[in-house]
């Protein structure tokens, strides 16, 4: 073996060793044994994932799941009823979310959510999904208009469930519509750069972090190959204490 070949082989082995270490580190971090201080992981799902084998899904080292329930004033996710009932049979902590529309009142949208999501002290708080969609991506509504819809939804839902809803949103929309308001609401922030966001744009801390839209798990057969991956900002003991 020439010196050049030996060096190349050594470099190759070194690179392979580093890759193995990285894989081990990621695997160890995301698949550690359950304990009170383990990393609290979860997913959010909708009809896009098709029929879900909840027992299989729950057995893949996740702790919680948020399920799409409703959108606007009359849309109900076609898989919500089944997903809700089947998820309750697992050890997962489960919650439901509503996709907020800008084309109808917050009160009507809250009524849609309330009609479809049972009240229980064994579930995670309701979530309102605040995003831009369709024509609003290029032409967002003024903050004042969105605030009227959002405030009405939050008020009605809190009155029904006895807990403040969680607000799910991106960094961009947080700056547009949340700002320094809603400091008494828990925030589920979308930040896909895979670096743990230390604080929100207003200096507050987040409760949940959605770090990927391309998680892959076994147990579903829908048109969407991926699931959204999320982490809770705290230990499992803190998670249980905060919500249950």
- The set of catalytic residues is 44, 131
Question: What does residue 6 show for φ and ψ, rounded to 5 degrees?
Answer: -65, -40
Cα(148)–Cα(48) distance, integer angstroms: 30
CB 207 within 8 A of CB 232: yes
Report helix, strand or coil for 41: strand
Within its chain, how far is the Cα of 50 from the centroid? 18
Residue pointed to by tokens 């929100």: 200
User: What is the dihedral angle through the alpha carbons of 68, 44, 137, 207, rounded to the nearest 10 degrees?
Assistant: 110
CA distance 101 to 78: 18
Burial of 21 (0-12, 13-18, 19+ CB in 10 A): exposed
CA distance 202 to 78: 36
């Amino acid at each position: 073996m020439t010196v050049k070949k030996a060096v190349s082989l050594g470099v190759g082995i070194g690179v392979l060793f580093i890759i193995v270490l990285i894989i081990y580190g990621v695997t160890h971090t995301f698949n550690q044994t359950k304990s009170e201080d383990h990393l609290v992981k979860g997913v959010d799902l909708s009809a896009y994932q098709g029929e879900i084998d909840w027992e299989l899904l729950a057995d893949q080292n996740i702790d919680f799941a948020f399920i799409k329930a409703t959108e606007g004033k009359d849309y109900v996710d076609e898989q919500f009823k089944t997903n809700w009932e089947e998820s309750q049979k697992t050890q997962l902590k489960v919650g439901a979310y509503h996709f907020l529309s800008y084309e109808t009142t917050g009160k009507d949208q809250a009524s849609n959510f309330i009609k479809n999501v049972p009240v229980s002290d064994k579930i995670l708080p309701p979530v309102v999904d605040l995003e831009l969609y369709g024509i609003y991506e290029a032409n967002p509504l003024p903050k004042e208009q969105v605030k009227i819809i959002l405030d009405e939804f939050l008020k009605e839902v809190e009155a029904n469930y006895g807990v403040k809803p969680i607000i799910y949103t991106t960094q961009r929309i947080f700056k547009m519509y949340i700002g320094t308001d809603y400091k008494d609401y828990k925030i589920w922030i979308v930040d896909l750069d895979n670096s743990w966001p230390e604080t929100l744009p207003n200096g507050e801390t987040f409760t949940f972090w959605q770090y990927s839209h391309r998680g892959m798990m076994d147990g579903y057969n829908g048109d969407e190959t991926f699931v959204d991956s999320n982490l809770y900002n705290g230990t499992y003991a803190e998670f249980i204490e905060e919500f249950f």
